[in-house]
Amino acid sequence: MTTVGFLGLGRMGAPMASNLVGHVDRLLVHDISPDAVAALVGKGAEAAGSAASLGGQCDIVFMSLPTPAIVRDAAPEILSGGRLRILCDLSTSGPKLAQEVHELCTGKGVASFDAPVSGGIRGAEQGTLAIMCGGPEALWPELEPLLARIGKPFYMGETPGAGQVTKLANNLLSLAAIATTAEAMTLAIKAGLDPARVIEVVNAGTGANSATRDKWPRAVLPRTFDFGFSAQLSLKDTRLALAEAQAMGVPLPTGQRLAALLDRTLAAYGDDADFTAMAKIVESDAGLDPERPE
């Protein structure tokens, strides 16, 4: 019998863990929020009580945590449990930390996978996340069916951090789509065009992208700016990409501009700002009122 653990039941972790309920022999969960744990227990999971208890009772443990620092603190605690065979990090914590976790796991005789996800809260809830995985190929057949309950897993190779680099590249493209769409739509609005109609046309043409297909209809056109991913986490991910690029000698001028735009977004709208609020900064620079009604 395989016992699976899940650490981190936040906005992404809770729905991912929920999608495992009923599809594993036992699912143990832990989070700093008792309410989050109680919600999963109500769906059929078991409360582990601590990160160390996860490592002591589970064969495989997934982590979904908000920052690299929290991942770095949590991994040794999980590994102290003594039973664990596979530790899989679903967080976006960067390739450098993936290497650190790999070395830490190797010293304990545990296999590590870095498997960051893309698709947002809706993807987590619907089990449609793209999952980018790096880790030992020999154990991939054991891990893949579990990940397939969370989304669509892609194996990127054995190199620690392979999944993380893939995710950072994906995030740069996603953020660039938001920034460029904001500029294009601001141009259209200043010309007096109907923004909803412009989005409809773009989505029928060659300019269509993830921002025009999803983020504008859901969060920008209605002026709610609540797509579900924070500008703060986006900035964290962008800085991880910039640090990795610098280490590899890869210039990322667009990444630097995205980081600056996110910095301005957070300065203007606070730490809770959604990443779609980047559009309001672009609009404001063009003399539009970003707080105008729908």
Rounded to whole angstroms, how far apart are CA atoms 214 and 170?
A: 16
- Range 245-259 burial, b when 16+ CB lie within 10 A, else e: beeeeeebeebeebb
Radius of gyration of the chain (CA): 20
DSSP 8-state assignment for residue 217: I
- C-beta separation of 248 from 205 below 8 A: no
User: Which amino acids are annotated catalytic?
Assistant: 167
Q: How far is CA 64 from CA 9, 117, 224, 236, 265, in A?
A: 7, 10, 27, 15, 25
The order of strands in the sheet holding 129-133 is: 117-118, 129-133, 151-155
Instruction: Count the neighbouring beta carbons within 10 Å of the beta carbon of residue 294.
Output: 7
68-79 helix and 95-107 helix, angle to the nearest 10 degrees: 10
User: Tokens 């690029």 belong to which residue?
Assistant: 245
Does the CA dihedral 240-8-69-56 come out positive or negative? negative
Query: Which residue, 160, 97, 168, 109, is CA-closest to 134?
Result: 160
Phi then psi dihedrals of residue 59, to 5 deg: -85, -40
The Cα–Cα gap between 269 and 280 comes to 10
